[in-house]
Amino acid sequence: MQIPASNLTAPKILIAPLDWGLGHATRCIPIIRTLKQKNCEIVIAASGINEILLKKEFPDSVFLPLEGYQIHYSKYRWGLAFKLLIQLKTLKRKIEKEHVWLQAVIEQYKIDVVISDNRFGLFTSKIPCIFITHQLQIVTPFGLLERLIQKINYHYINQYTTCWIPDNASGQNLAGRLSHPSVIPGIPLQYIGPLVRFPKPMPVSIEFDVCIVLSGPEPQRTILENILLKQVVSVHKKVVLVRGLPGKEEIIAAPFNTIIHNYLTETELLNIIVRSNLVICRSGYTTVMEMMYLQKKTILIPTPGQTEQEYLAEHLSKQNFCVTYLQHQFVFSKAVEQALSFNYIFPDMQGNTLNKTVADFLSALG
């Protein structure tokens, strides 16, 4: 699809991240900043914790309420696939609903460009629409099912003008076959390098032995939190826990060696991560990009049954980028001891081409 010329010197761009944890919203932050630096007017469509997070980062932007997909997880690894399957009809209706919503929003707010981070219904033939994903290949336990899901995935992706992939095009990459499948979509692909909201930090002294950063959908976020809080007292280490709950005022009891924060701003979180010797977190792709960029010793615990996170953890651990444990096998003292003595090899994270990609795209608008 050829990009139509725009009469505006500063296009108005609608950005909408998926509500699957905080990762899709946080990786949109460097995109929004880059667009703002180029004088674009930003409209953000979000709800729930994504809206809370992005309002903290961009309080002057226009926000539109857009219902999330609200995918529910199972408490048990074996039940996740079934839980997701029974939600497919509801998900399809929500995709259709957001597609209709978009047509009205384009007219009402005079939108010139749409950037959708993994929201399948935000496409139109009226204006350029960019789809952001690192998952061209969605991993499943069965090859036939994997091919079927990829076909559905590409059906939606191919409705967009172009696809931006937050990974390196060649050489060392973080997402493996997720972002480099053997079969690719029919629209233009642009590898923009890993997306990270943090600036490169200055060297600092270590204050915490372990930093725990929680994220992702419930109930698994809380399940992992409870496991870690129960076990953290087994190590004589100074620990800080960031619960990943923006907007929450709830106060929970902290073990004697642990400081707990419901949520931290970007600057506060960066300050704690760089002052920590070791980070324990999920293997969500945005978290992975950030930890590899900061070159932190990391223990990754994939969300049980989430095949993408399980694949990423295995893919990265094979390259000695991280230490990984399954949630049901995690023992705090053993894992920390292994991680602190592990010979980490950090990947090259210098491949970010976001600024050039955005500049070229805006130039093509005319």
Each domain of the chain, given as residue ranges in start order, spans 12-196+351-365, 208-341
Residue-wise pLDDT for 129-166, tens only, equals: 999 999 999 887 777 778 888 898 999 999 999 999 99
Mean per-residue pLDDT for 57-79?
77
pLDDT at 138: 84
Domain 12-196+351-365 and domain 208-341, same fold? Reply is yes
**pLDDT tier, 9 (very low <50, low <70, confident <90, very high otherwise):** low
**pLDDT tier, 202 (very low <50, low <70, confident <90, very high otherwise):** confident
For residue 341, give the H/E element and its range. Answer: helix 332-341
215 closest CA partner among 18, 28, 21, 17 = 21
- In the chain, what percentage of residues exceed pLDDT 70? 92
Burial 50-80, CB ≥16 within 10 A → b, else e: bbbbbbebbeeeebbebebbebebbeebeeb
Model confidence, pTM:
0.90
Mean per-residue pLDDT for 205-225?
93
pLDDT at 81: 55
Mean per-residue pLDDT for 26-52?
95
Backbone angles phi, psi at 102, to 5 degrees: -60, -40
Is the CATH number of domain 12-196+351-365 3.40.50.880? Answer: no
The least confident of 73-82, 111-120, 301-310 is: 73-82
Residue 43 pLDDT exceeds 90: yes
pLDDT at 185: 96
Backbone angles phi, psi at 240, to 5 degrees: -125, 135
- In the chain, what percentage of residues exceed pLDDT 90? 74
Residue 89 pLDDT exceeds 90: no
316 closest CA partner among 327, 305, 308 = 308
pLDDT at 5: 40
In this structure, what token pair is assigned to residue 84?
């997701």
Quote the CA–CA distance of 43 and 64 in Å, as a whole number.
7
Pairing state of beta strands 189-191 and 208-213?
unpaired
The least confident of 37-46, 213-222, 286-295 is: 213-222
CA 183 to chain centre: 23
Is the CATH number of domain 208-341 3.40.50.2000? Answer: yes
Quote the CA–CA distance of 338 and 113 in Å, as a whole number.
48
Tell me the C-alpha to C-alpha distance, in Å, between residue 302 and each of 221, 299, 327, 329.
Answer: 11, 10, 7, 11
Residue-wise pLDDT for 250-290, tens only, equals: 889 999 999 999 999 999 999 999 999 999 999 999 999 99
Q: Contact 260/241 with Cβ under 8 angstroms?
A: yes
pLDDT at 112: 97
pLDDT at 219: 87
Torsion of CA 291, 292, 296, 299, to 10 degrees: 70
For residue 64, give the H/E element and its range. Answer: strand 62-65
pLDDT at 4: 43
